[in-house]
Amino acid sequence: MGRTNQRKLCWNVIVSIRGQGETGGDTILHKEEYISLRDIAEELNLSYHQVADISAGRKKQNTNFKYQPIIEINKILELV
Annotated domain spans of the chain: 11-75
Q: What are 40-55's pLDDT values in tens digits?
A: 999 999 999 999 999 9
**Cα distance between residue 1 and residue 14, in whole Å:** 19
**What single-letter amino acid sits at 65?**
F
Q: What are 19-72's pLDDT values in tens digits?
A: 766 667 888 999 999 999 999 999 999 999 999 999 998 876 666 777 788 999
Strands (E), 11-61: 11-17, 27-34
The confidence score (pLDDT) of residue 38 equals 96
Nearest alpha carbon to residue 34 among 59, 1, 78, 79:
1
The model's pTM is 0.77
The confidence score (pLDDT) of residue 78 equals 63
